[in-house]
Amino acid sequence: MANLFLGIDAGSSVLKAAVFDATGRQVSVASAHTPLQRPQQGWVEADPQACLDALEHVIAETIKGHEEAIKAIGISGAMVGAWLVDEDGKALRAGINWEDSRSQDLLEAMIADRPSLMSDIFSVSGSVLQQGCTLPVLAWFKQNQPDLLARTAHVLTYKDFLRHHLTGTFAADRSEAAVLPGDARSQDRSPELMDMFGIADLTRLLPSVSDSQDVVGHLAPEAAERTGLQTGTPVVAGAGDVIANVIGANGLKAGAATAILGTTCMVGVCHDEPVFTPADLGLLFSLPDRHWYRAMVNVAGTLNLDWTLKLFAPDLKDDPNRFSKVNAMVANTPIGANGVTYLPYLSESGIIAPIADPNARAQFCGLHAGHDRADIVRAVYEGVAFAIADLVDLLSIKPDMPITLTGGGSHSSVWCQIIADVTGRPILVPEGSEFGAKGAALLAATAIGTFASVKEASRATSATGTLTQPETASHQSWVEARDRFAKHRDALLH
Residue 232 falls inside a structural domain: yes
CA proximity to 66, closest of 218, 222, 228, 203 = 228
What whole-number percentage of the chain has pLDDT above 70?
100
CA 63 to chain centre: 25
Residue 69 falls inside a structural domain: yes
- List C-alpha distances in Å: 85 to 165, 409, 429: 11, 35, 39
What span, in angstroms and rounded, lies between the C-alpha atoms of 170 and 162? 10
The pLDDT tens digits for 412-469 are: 999 999 999 999 999 999 988 899 999 999 999 999 999 999 999 999 877 679 999 9
The pLDDT tens digits for 47-81 are: 999 999 999 999 999 999 999 999 999 999 999 99
Q: What is the mean pLDDT of residues 253-282?
A: 94
Residue 248 falls inside a structural domain: no
239-240 vs 70-77, strand pairing mode? parallel
Domain enclosing residue 205, as ranges = 4-243
The H or E element that residue 309 is part of is: helix 303-312
**How many CA atoms lie less than 13 Å away from 6 in the CB half-sphere?**
33
> pLDDT averaged over the chain?
95
Number of Cβ atoms within 10 Å of the Cβ of 142: 17
Residue 400 falls inside a structural domain: no
- DSSP-H helix ranges across 98-204: 104-113, 117-125, 134-144, 146-150, 158-167, 174-177, 191-196
Handedness of CA 131, 132, 135, 141 (dihedral sign): positive
Residue 222 falls inside a structural domain: yes
Tell me the pLDDT band of 347, cut-offs 50, 70 and 90: confident
Q: What is the DSSP letter of 198?
A: T
CATH number at residue 42: 3.30.420.40
Contacts of 74 (CB under 8 A, 6+ apart): 5, 6, 7, 8, 235, 236, 238, 244, 439, 440, 441, 442, 443, 444, 445, 447
Q: What angle do CA 346, 392, 81 make, to 5 degrees?
A: 45
Q: What is the mean pLDDT of residues 177-182?
A: 98
What span, in angstroms and rounded, lies between the C-alpha atoms of 121 and 435? 30
pTM above 0.85, yes or no: yes
- List C-alpha distances in Å: 230 to 71, 82, 168, 220, 235: 9, 30, 15, 9, 12
Q: What is the pLDDT of residue 432?
A: 86
The H or E element that residue 28 is part of is: strand 26-33
The pLDDT tens digits for 354-381 are: 888 888 999 999 999 999 999 999 999 9
Across the chain, how many H-helices and E-strands are there? 17, 22
The pLDDT tens digits for 8-34 are: 999 988 999 999 999 999 999 999 999
Residue 72 falls inside a structural domain: yes
What's the domain count of the chain? Answer: 1
265-271 vs 239-240, strand pairing mode? unpaired
What span, in angstroms and rounded, lies between the C-alpha atoms of 272 and 290? 7
What whole-number percentage of the chain has pLDDT above 90?
90
Q: Which residues pair with 91 in a beta bridge?
A: 85
Residue 300 falls inside a structural domain: no
- Residue pair 297/307 in contact (Cβ under 8 Å)? The answer is no
What span, in angstroms and rounded, lies between the C-alpha atoms of 190 and 176? 12
Q: What is the pLDDT of residue 463?
A: 64
Q: What is the mean pLDDT of residues 316-323?
A: 91
- Residue pair 292/284 in contact (Cβ under 8 Å)? The answer is yes
Least confident of 282-291, 294-303, 365-374: 294-303
Q: What is the pLDDT of residue 448?
A: 97
Question: What would the DSSP string read from start to end of 399-464?
Answer: TT--EEEESGGGG-HHHHHHHHHHHTS-EEEES-S-HHHHHHHHHHHHHTTSSSSHHHHHHHT---
Residue 434 falls inside a structural domain: no
- List C-alpha distances in Å: 384 to 106, 305, 492: 31, 9, 16
Residue positions counted in the chain: 494
- Can you give the C-alpha Rg of the chain in angstroms? 22
Q: What is the pLDDT of residue 400?
A: 86
**Helix axis angle, 48-62 relative to 158-167, nearest 10°?**
60
CA proximity to 402, closest of 381, 387, 423, 431 = 423
Q: What is the pLDDT of residue 464?
A: 77
- Residue pair 12/407 in contact (Cβ under 8 Å)? The answer is no
